[in-house]
Chain A
Amino acid sequence: MTDQALKTTPLNAAHRALGARMVGFGGYDMPVQYEGVLAEHRWTREHAGLFDVSHMGQCKITGADATTQFERFVPGDYEILKAGKQKYSLLLNSEGGIIDDLMAGRPDHDGLFVVVNAGNKDEDFAFWEANLEGDAKLTVLDRALIAIQGPEAAQVMAAHEPILAEMGFMECARLMLFGADCYVSRSGYTGEDGYEISVPADQAERVWNTILEDARVKPIGLGARDSLRLEAGLPLHGHDIDPTTSPVEGALTFALSKSRKERADFNGAERILKELADGPSRVRIGLIVKEGAPAREGAEIADADGNVIGKVTSGGPSPTLGKNIAMGYVPPAYAALGAELKVIVRGKTAAAEVVAMPFVAQRYYRKPKTV
């Protein structure tokens, strides 16, 4: 099973010591599960799960022109992003297709800290290297990234550093944590409250093991990470969104800042603004499959008469709902909530209903408003 071509994260030995089953993902040898996907999924929804996501790309974009240059290729307003905040955004090609989705924030006063997908990071970094102008400078960071997610994540982390409990969803900071220089954000990819912590590679195993000492925390593999993000309605790049998909088609218009739409000054703005005005030709929807097998990536979606109208881009059982759920693309005429559609799995047609996403309510921590 060992593939010499696979890269390892700084936590590889820790995963093996925990008895993880390892698989290749995004070019890395990663833990797909420890005790089992279902148990890990449920543990994260009920307690706190610890994830090694060090395969993801981390970089800094710095310099006086950093924000203006970064904004040329994303539709978010980063000029007005305050220190201590981060924002989800999309790296767009000139046709408005999604090269990658990402998180970019200001954890300190030194430019933007950006996290991108593992499978796209080389391409993203090359893109910025080739396209950032002026004095904007890309620095790729060789750090581990550890996520802790779940309703008990905040209590677990507050025991180590009380200030973390005061962060709100999508806030970020650079601070000393476990004696290490860390970037921390209150965010994640499960729909739960929690944090993503960027740790110097040589400190990662110590930080990982320290957090795991808390009985409320268990290690969670990529299997449950995928089922958790699916329940949370969060797209997976390369599957639910890709360089042919626009933010409008991908149901990610929340990532289009009002000011940027008005200025129409980002890559692909022409297509995106046209789709906003006239409607896209297809749109990402959520489905509950009411009978039969899970509908997974590639399964066809049909209208009530059985005419194929689209495809599932990811799907599977929802452990929380006890139902099979899926995301996919259909023309907007079929995308109304409650619309009765079909999915075709291995030649068998099953009833499906368009439902709102997230499938399972998100439980992000919003700070009480203070004026």
Chain B
Amino acid sequence: MKFTKDHEWVSLDGDIATVGISKHAADALGDVVFVEVPEVGKTVAKGDSFAVVESVKAASDVYAPVSGEVVEANDALSTAPETVNSAPQADGWFAKIKVSDAAELDALMDQAAYDAFLATL
């Protein structure tokens, strides 16, 4: 699992990247009440806002950690957005992206680097 400075995570299996928001991000947001996942078939570029997560107080953009085509979205979040709080780095995934350039992951942080990054915040 790798992380961005915007607190998204990405886990690569073959050329399919599962993406979501980190536990740190989910904790910081508080109670998630709504998630807007991307449409299947949509092409996203790394850094694009591709999903929205909403707490009671505010809506926050989620940025694509890698470029590619959305091949699956976690529609279960529409009825159970709280999964983002209870299992942010597992069942609370947002979408699966067929990556167009796996080398993009090289620039992301591994767990140790992300932990070190969080410690600087």
Contact = CB atoms under 8 A, between A and B. Distances in A.
B14 to A, nearest CB: 32
A327 B4 CA distance: 36
A32 B39 CA distance: 33
What is the interface of chain B mostly: helix, strand, loop, or mixed? Answer: strand
B52 interface: yes
A294 B57 contact: no
Contacts of A37: 30-31, 55-57
A226 B57 contact: yes
A286 interface: no
A40 to B, nearest CB: 10
A141 to B, nearest CB: 30
Contacts of A317: 33-34, 54, 56
B59 interface: yes
Contacts of A41: 56
Interface string A307-347: 00000000011010000000000000000000000000010
Nearest to A35: B30
B31 A36 contact: yes
Range class of the B interface residue count: 10 to 19
Nearest to A227: B56
Contacts of A132: none
Contacts of B36: 293, 346
A38 interface: yes
A293 B52 contact: yes
B31 A294 contact: no
A316 B52 contact: no
A223 interface: yes
A296 interface: yes
Nearest to B34: A293
Given A226-B57, A316-B57, A36 B33 contact: no
B31 A38 contact: yes
Q: Pick from B30, B52, B57 the residue with the most CB of A within 10 Å.
A: B57
Interface of B: 30-31, 33-34, 36, 52, 54-59
Q: Which 6 A-B pairs have the closest CB atoms?
A: A38-B31, A37-B56, A317-B33, A223-B57, A293-B34, A36-B30
